[in-house]
Structure 1
Amino acid sequence: MRFRATGVPERPHTCSCAICRRHSGALTLTWVEFPAANVAWIGPGGRPATWRFSAFSSRACCRTCGTTIGAIDDEPIIALATGAFDKPQLKDLAPTAHSYVSRRPRWWHVAAEARGRRED
């Protein structure tokens, strides 16, 4: 899957809700949102496969391998998993909030923060 997202990402955040955990297979999924008009599906696979998971949104994944791509909302918003970006380390993709923090395991934390240093 290939996409081009233009403009400044909105609402960069992490989420630990049950749906995000199941969709990603991880304790937390990191997202950014773009207006749908700012996202173009440019790869040979075209648009991702989707499955409806709520009254207002569908999850998106690669049609070939099933990799998590994001969520396509009924509103004109597409939330993209930051791991799907070619350069996920870009500052604009850094989360500024965490949704469903109470749903993450109490032992979950970033290991480098726990040791008082940052790893790159």
Structure 2
Amino acid sequence: MMTTLTGGCLCGHIRFTATGTPGHPHSCSCHMCQRHSGAPAMVWVTYPAGAVVWDGPGGAPQLWRSSAQSSRAFCPQCGSTLGAVDDAPTVGLVTGAFDRPNLQALAPVAHSYRSRRPRWWAKLFA
């Protein structure tokens, strides 16, 4: 069965429709994710680039080249983090940008860069 999920930024200028099964749901505490989100971790899912359509009034998000293989995606109006567009071609979407972020299909099954989590992290989830 084909799954279609929608989401977008805080102001609604950038919207997306993602079709298919969300891949590799995981949280990440790398320095880049922390700086991009302003939080100790971000939760991501991935899709093949062709499975994500930017269908809001603003079209595709603004991109900022963050590494040799990826660009961070955000709304140029409200600044909301939306994810990353990789050269692979893969699109990583942050789960908080989905209209229904609490879906089980978006729940992380792994955590990248565990050593970069704040020391208080373990106390929260004990």
The normalised TM-score by structure 1 is 0.91
Runs (4+) of structure 1 exceeding 3 A deviation are none
Q: Distance in 1 between matches of 2:27 and 2:39?
A: 11
Q: Distance in 2 between matches of 1:31 and 1:57?
A: 14
**Aligned pair partner of 1:48 in 47, 61, 65:** 61
Is 1:38 equivalent to 2:51 in the alignment? yes
Give the CA RMSD over aligned residues: 1.0
Gaps of 5+ in 1: 115-120
| Post-superposition offset of 1:110 | 7.1
| Post-superposition offset of 1:109 | 3.7
Matches within 5 A, 1:107-118: 107-109=120-122, 111=124, 113-114=125-126
**Aligned pair partner of 1:73 in 67, 86, 91:** 86
Gaps of 5+ in 2: 1-13
**Aligned pair partner of 1:88 in 91, 101, 107:** 101
Aligned AA (1:100): Y
